[in-house]
Structure 1
Amino acid sequence: MDRKIIHVDMDAFFASVEIMDNPRLKGKPVIVGGTTERGVVATCSYEAREFGVRSAMPIYMAKAKCPEAVFMPVRYGRYKEISNKIFSIFHKITDLVEPLSIDEAYLDITHLEKDPVEIAVFIKQEVKRQTGLTISAGVSYNKFLAKLASDWNKPDGLKIIEKHMVPEILFPLSISKVYGLGQKSVKKLNDIGVFTVKELYGLPKELLIEFFGKFGVEIYERARGIDGREINIDRERKSIGRETTLRVDTDIKDDLKLYLNDFSESIADTMRNKNVSGKSITIKIKTSSFVNHTKSKTLNHYIYNKEDIYEEALNILDEIELMEKIRLIGLSISSLRENKTEQISMF
């Protein structure tokens, strides 16, 4: 029996929440992210996207493309509050929910007799009723096609991709739409004249294996609408981290230590709330020439408090030789595990 998968994705989520909370912003190009020239765009309204503004774009570039935009700081706590309401709607439908981010998830509804399109319509209506926001949904028989469908006619979209429509419906699409093909892989295929899924479809499996190793088999199958990935309801957060773009580029380590101290406190708070420990510490830096570097250290024991995280971060920073000034610094902890507490018997 074919599976029934729904992929749901909020429309310009952060910006939509800001507009909902401040109706005067409706119809205006709203950009959420860093409010200084050195910040980056977290997300933006569709009005801003018409000017070519995109997520992860530097703020100075976004201002150049859309000078009349309204710039808003990120309010993650507020977005999480709304996200919790939305995910509670998903969980009322099925326990088989795989969150991908704060505003995106897969639902496996194979076990439900109700028509999947009716369920998708119900989700859209409930999200609108309970939050005032719109969500786009895609329905298909696997994760790849469901995600593709949800992006088909955003915002407030609904699309179903059925088996008889594949592979023809995929042929006109850019190969960048194929799950698993990143920028480097897309460029590699572009270099041999492959730009559309139809052109990818025509390549022999052996050539794709030669290009991408074992992963070439998956790319061959995706071009044919095949995706065997299961819904992962136990999807765990792999790391907890913080980063920021500096107001002024610097190579003074004492300045960087102040950021690491703040990061350590914030990360420790998150770990305490999630009741987890970790043992792999990573510092990320981006140089003034926009080159990223990371340096990690894996401990032989787990840590979770601010003092230990900060101490290990300083040890790593001391080992980094700053060849040029940096514009961004980040700190994260991974290799997470849940803290086990032993209950003491009263008897």
Structure 2
Amino acid sequence: MPEFLITADNRRIIHVDLDAFYAQIEMRDHPELRNLPLIISRDPTESNGRGVVATANYAARNLGVHSAMSAAEAKRLAPDAFFMRPDFQKYKMISQQIHHIFHQYTDKIEPIAFDEAYLDLTDSVLTGATLAAKIRHQILKETQLTSSIGVSYNKLLAKLASEFNKPNGVTVITKDNALDFLARLPIASFRGVGKKTQEKFAVLGVENGAQLRMIPQETLRAQFGKMGEHLFWQARGVHFGEVQWHRQRQSVGKEETFDQFVQTRDEVNLEFKKLAVGIVKIMKNKKLVGRTLNIKIRDSEFNTITRSVTQSVPFKLEAGSIVSVAQTIFDENMNTDFSIRLLGISLSNLQSSGFEEMTLF
């Protein structure tokens, strides 16, 4: 197998990331907070130390505060910061306003969260840099919010590009500069590399993409499992995932965000059981069944994995069956060391249970 995969990838993918989205909205709406460290979370002094940081402005980040940190730790790092409870309904409305802007350029949009999305603009006659500038300008004009945008020929590089020049920047990665860009990138910036993975790479003497590219594929796979395989191709800028814009809109699901991160497979299994019981109850009440089972995993560093399995016949409305599939997907995609802040399960490709009985008969 050749060490590098040659592709004719001529796509134009943009990743849009609103800068400290929740905090930026609150600073816009409350100008008196603009020069203060602002943390979007419950104040731990009012919640017996509980709560998790949703985001923080850059003044707070400069003090060491980051998303998914416990509110108590954020308070210790930034004792004079202003804590504000999140208003997700407001954030959702503003996100919809921003997506309306996206739709003026393309309908090939994959939303990742309220504050970020991938856009496939391959069909546009404009250059990627021009499109990024126009979208940034329009978001700022209509919402008074800044964004960072990455432009490249696949989703991986577009995401890395948007993170490279934050806040309020544009980075374009082309086929000519991709390998140089990745070579200089710190190992911590690669997708899926958390604190524990960084520690393992430090032992191996790997600090950047150039050094990562020197490690054989078999060694990475042996050291890091499936993640090692992903990192091998990341270091070479190879990613074939498409912008998922034809998504099944109708679904029934539940998800749970944890104040205390889930760190064992037994805990994961227990949480999957709780979610599955709730979904089965809703599906039976609505007299629905579904052929696609979707799993959502978000770790402590806000990396999100979504996976789905589709069957030719609907899934049995039994919590045990759903949990078994969910756990298998989890095991296939997560290393032995993990710290999970959110788990979700949903069923899509829905149809009435009466229709299921007719077709089976």
Q: Same fold (TM over 0.5)?
A: yes
In 2 relative to 1, CA 302–101 (structure 1 residues): closer, same or farther, beyond 3 Å?
farther
Q: Which residue of 1 aligns with 2:110?
A: 98
Q: How far apart are the structure 1 equivalents of 2:160 and 2:257?
A: 30
Look up the match of 1:241: 255
Aligned residue among 5, 18, 21 for 2:13: 5
Which residue of 1 is the match for residue 210 of structure 2? 198
1:17 maps onto 2:25 in alignment: yes
1:195 partner letter: E
Q: Which amino acid aligns with 2:199?
A: K
Partner of 1:120: 132
Question: What's the CA shift for 1:99?
Answer: 1.0
Alpha-carbon distance change, 63 to 92 in structure 1, aligned in 2, over 3 angstroms: same
Q: What is the distance in 1 between the residues matched to 2:130 and 2:343?
A: 41
Q: Do 2:15 and 2:149's aligned partners in 1 also have CA atoms closer than 8 Å?
A: yes
The equivalent residue for 1:224 is: 236
Matches within 5 A, 1:65-214: 65-213=77-225
Q: Distance in 2 between matches of 1:47 and 1:132?
A: 19
Q: Percent identity?
A: 38
The offset of 1:188, in angstroms, is: 3.1
Structure 2 letter corresponding to 1:44: A
Q: 1:279–1:301: 8 Å Cα contact kept in structure 2?
A: no
Q: Which amino acid aligns with 1:336?
A: L
Q: 1:71 to 1:197 in 2, by over 3 A?
A: same
Distance 1:158 1:224, change over 3 A: same
Counterparts in 2 of 1:24-43, with a 5 A limit?
A: 24-35=32-43, 36=47, 37-43=49-55
* Alignment CA distance shift 1:184-1:130 (3 Å): same
Structure 2 partner of 1:254: none
More displaced 10-residue stretch of structure 1: 78-87 or 164-173: 164-173
Q: How far is 1:113 from its partner?
A: 1.2
Contact 1:39/1:58 (8 A) holds in 2: yes
Task: Tell me the distance in 2 between the aligned counterparts of 1:192 and 1:105.
Answer: 34
Residue equivalent to 1:301: 317
**How far apart, in 1, do the equivalents of 2:257 and 2:226 lie?**
34
Q: Distance in 2 between matches of 1:33 and 1:158?
A: 29
1:229 is displaced (CA, Å) by 1.5
**Which structure: larger Rg?**
1
Change (3 A) 1:89 1:210: same
Q: Tell me the SS of whatever aligns to 1:127.
A: helix
CA contact (8 A) 1:278 1:334 kept: no
* One-letter identity of the residue aligned with 1:241: E
Question: Is 2:73 aligned against 1:61?
Answer: yes
Say if 1:332 and 1:186 are closer, same or farther in 2 by CA, change over 3 A. Answer: closer
Give per-residue Cα distances to partners, 1:198-219, cap 9 Å, x unaligned. Answer: 1111112232233345654432
Deviations 1:248-302 (A, max 9, x none): xxxxxxxxxxxx9xxx7xx97xx99xx998999x9xxxxxxxxxxxxxxxx9428
SS class of match (1:164):
coil
Q: Residues 232 and 71 of structure 1: is their aligned pair in 2 closer, same or farther, counting only changes over 3 Å? A: same
On the 8 A contact 1:137/1:149 being kept in 2, the answer is yes
What is the RMSD of the two structures over their aligned residues, measured on CA atoms? 3.7
Shift of 1:333: 6.1
Query: Structure 1 residue 81: deviation in Å?
Result: 0.4
- 5+ long unaligned stretches in structure 2: 1-7, 261-273, 296-314, 320-340, 355-361
Distance 2:144 2:128 in 1: 23
Partner of 2:323: none
Q: Distance in 2 between matches of 1:220 and 1:332?
A: 27
**Change beyond 3 A, Cα 1:278–1:63:** farther
Amino acid at match of 2:104: K
Q: Distance in 2 between matches of 1:104 and 1:218?
A: 22
| Structure 1 unpaired stretches of 5+ | 247-259, 283-298, 304-329, 343-347
| Residue 338 (structure 1) shift | 5.6
* Counterpart Cα distance in 2 of 1:276 and 1:23: 49
